[in-house]
Amino acid sequence: MHELTVRQGTACTRLSFEGTPILADLLAEHGFPVQRPCGGRGKCGKCAVEVSGCLSQPTAAEVAAGARLACQTTLLGDAQVTLPEAPERARIELSGEASFRPLAPVSGRLGLAVDIGTTTLAARLLELSTGKTLGQAAMLNPQTAVAADVMGRIGAALEGKLALLQHQILQALEALLNQACQQAHRDPAEVDVLSVAGNTTMLYLLTGRNPESLSHAPFEADCLFGQETTLLGRRTLLPPCMNAFVGADITCAVLAAGQCLEEGPSLLCDIGTNGEIALWKDGVLYVTSTAAGPAFEGAGISCGCGSIPGAIDQVSAENGALQVHTIDEAAPVGVCGSGLIDAIAALLQLEIIDETGAADEDEIPLSGGVSLLSRDIRAVQLAKAAVAAGIDTLLETAGVAPEALTHLSIAGGFGSHLRVASAVAIGLIPSSLAQKVRILGNASLTGACRLLMDAAAQSSAAEIARRSQHVSLGGNPRFNHLYVEHMLFPEQE
């Protein structure tokens, strides 16, 4: 039996272990997650740590990074690691309806609605008899310590980390429940029922289900949920998913938006690590999912960060120069998703980068030591091209012109802080929809709340899933063509 000494701030913790584990895995297992946006491939360098003791020799990735990386370092015996102090909690989107009319609530005293996002988790505590919101809680998804995206976590689960991933999310779910109850001054034992939305993979990992069917073509989920189970000793509602990559979070968002009750065609987009798109037309809900990657969440970006104090969240071009704003007006520490989109739009306006994303310098300073590299701009190009091409493919499939849409609803945390003008400037959304955008906030969480407050909403959710028609983008020649077209930024007026 060996021992790893973990120092974080003034705290010192000793972890016993056997065998030769990867440092990041051992830390994550014991509640010390380290960020691995690259999925543990040693590419991003964001898990660099101070570590000494009986260790493996530096890998090629560590030599290139000039540091020991937690995702690459193998513990061979006793060792010591120093971790940075825990960052301030990111501001995670909880907006949406503040209270709900209890039409026919599920039985119980209190209910907890939860949205399990790939990057963030959000929860709302409701009094079932009144529909009143009593408390809220949010946190980063601890599974990001294993991999930043869905496919990375599927791969990790198939490599033997399914139990770890389930433990992480259940532990986080309990923490959210306790935080919300503490805020409301209520006993957690009063929470009788949970309603948990999430994409298909997140629900697989939550329930400990083997995601092998999601890992390869034809990518057909062997479970689409829409059922009840027991989690944390409580009755738990798991809304239906539409397919392997359009999950219960989008079902709940469509439910919250009332999209399937509308007469004219409308579009709903949840733009995040996964870009899910739903188009309602003539009684059919056309849905698709495109792998945008974590750039819009600030992950995978050299100076990227969450919505924490000091994060650059707004950038504009004024008098021929960049003007930035940070959360809490604190000293700049990085750039979050909304600031990243603003920054690219401003750089285009100032002609610091051209429509190809090229710049004269590889590093473009924003403020206070925070800069964007050429690879960061490329990451945004890839992400926005995937979403824009997905939107166009869906519209073409259904035979709908963008100008014919009644509105475009944008759901999710990233979308809640998105400046529409910047999204249009970089080509993320069509310019013809700029005046038709509705910001929904965390619509997935709102939908999960409605499942608690109206038992009939469970039938509505099932009907939404039944009406869905998946449009596959993988191997779709039209999508591939549009994707290449959207790689370029629009010409600036």
Written as six digits, the tokens of 251 are 């079902």
Q: What is the pLDDT of residue 399?
A: 96
Q: Are 231 and 173 in contact (CB under 8 A)?
A: yes
- Report the range of poorest mean pLDDT among 163-167, 334-338, 384-388: 334-338
- What is the distance between the alpha carbons of residues 420 and 416, in angstroms, rounded to a whole number? 10
State the residue for tokens 């004024």: 318
- Report the range of poorest mean pLDDT among 27-41, 325-339, 382-396, 406-420: 27-41
Written as six digits, the tokens of 197 are 């939305």
Helix axes 443-453, 248-257, angle to 10 degrees: 80
E strands, 232-307, are 234-240, 266-271, 275-281, 284-290
pLDDT top residue among 169 and 7: 169
Written as six digits, the tokens of 354 are 């051209």
Q: What is the pLDDT of residue 37?
A: 58
- What is the distance between the alpha carbons of residues 285 and 338, in angstroms, rounded to a whole number? 28
Fold match between 2-83 and 110-250?
no
Proportion of the chain above pLDDT 70, given as a percent: 94
Region for residue 31 given its phi and psi (left: phi exceeds 0; alpha: psi -120 to 50; beta: otherwise):
left
Question: Among candidates 461, 471, 466, which has minimal Cα distance to 251?
Answer: 461
3-state class percentages of the chain: helix first, strand second, coil last, to nearest 5: 35, 30, 35
- What is the distance between the alpha carbons of residues 112 and 127, in angstroms, rounded to a whole number? 9
Q: Are 393 and 481 in contact (CB under 8 A)?
A: no
Written as six digits, the tokens of 376 are 């960061």
Question: Which CATH architecture describes the domain 110-250?
Answer: 2-Layer Sandwich (3.30)
Domain boundaries, the chain: 2-83, 110-250
Q: What is the pLDDT of residue 88?
A: 45
Question: Among candidates 29, 23, 8, 12, which has minimal Cα distance to 85?
Answer: 8
Residues 157-185: pLDDT tens digits? Answer: 999 999 999 999 999 999 999 999 999 99
State the residue for tokens 């033997």: 160
pLDDT tier for residue 191 given thresholds of 50, 70 and 90: very high
State the residue for tokens 């995601």: 211
- What is the distance between the alpha carbons of residues 155 and 40, in angstroms, rounded to a whole number? 11
Is pLDDT above 80 for 39? no
Q: What is the pLDDT of residue 154?
A: 95
**Bridge partners of 321?**
318
Name every residue whose Cβ is closer than 8 Å to that of residue 262 and which is 6 or more positions away in sequence.
280, 406
| Residue 80: φ, ψ to 5° | -135, 140
| Region 330-341 average pLDDT | 90
- Report the range of poorest mean pLDDT among 81-95, 344-358, 380-394: 81-95
pLDDT tier for residue 137 given thresholds of 50, 70 and 90: very high
Q: What is the pLDDT of residue 292?
A: 77
CA 137-277-147 angle, to 5 degrees, is 55
Is pLDDT above 70 for 485? yes
CA distances 122 to 116, 274, 294, Å, are 7, 17, 18
pLDDT tier for residue 306 given thresholds of 50, 70 and 90: confident
HEC letters along 337-370 = HHHHHHHHHHHHHCCCECCCCCECCCEEEEECCE
Is pLDDT above 70 for 93? no
Report strand pairing: 266-271 vs 275-281: antiparallel
| Region 115-134 average pLDDT | 93
Average pLDDT, the chain: 89
Report strand pairing: 68-69 vs 334-335: unpaired
- What is the distance between the alpha carbons of residues 288 and 404, in angstroms, rounded to a whole number? 20
Q: What is the pLDDT of residue 95?
A: 53
- What is the distance between the alpha carbons of residues 344 and 51, in angstroms, rounded to a whole number? 36
Q: What is the pLDDT of residue 99?
A: 60
CATH class of this structure's domain 2-83: alpha beta
| Residue 278: φ, ψ to 5° | -130, 130
| Region 310-332 average pLDDT | 92
pLDDT tier for residue 89 given thresholds of 50, 70 and 90: very low
pLDDT top residue among 478 and 293: 478
Written as six digits, the tokens of 243 are 């397919």
- Report the range of poorest mean pLDDT among 146-150, 200-204, 471-475: 146-150
- What is the distance between the alpha carbons of residues 226 and 241, in angstroms, rounded to a whole number? 7
Question: Among candidates 493, 51, 49, 92, which has minimal Cα distance to 297?
Answer: 92
Is pLDDT above 70 for 310? yes
Q: Are 88 and 66 in contact (CB under 8 A)?
A: no
Residues 398-451: pLDDT tens digits? Answer: 999 999 999 999 998 777 778 999 999 999 999 999 999 999 989 999 999 999
Question: Among candidates 359, 293, 247, 302, which has minimal Cα distance to 147?
Answer: 293
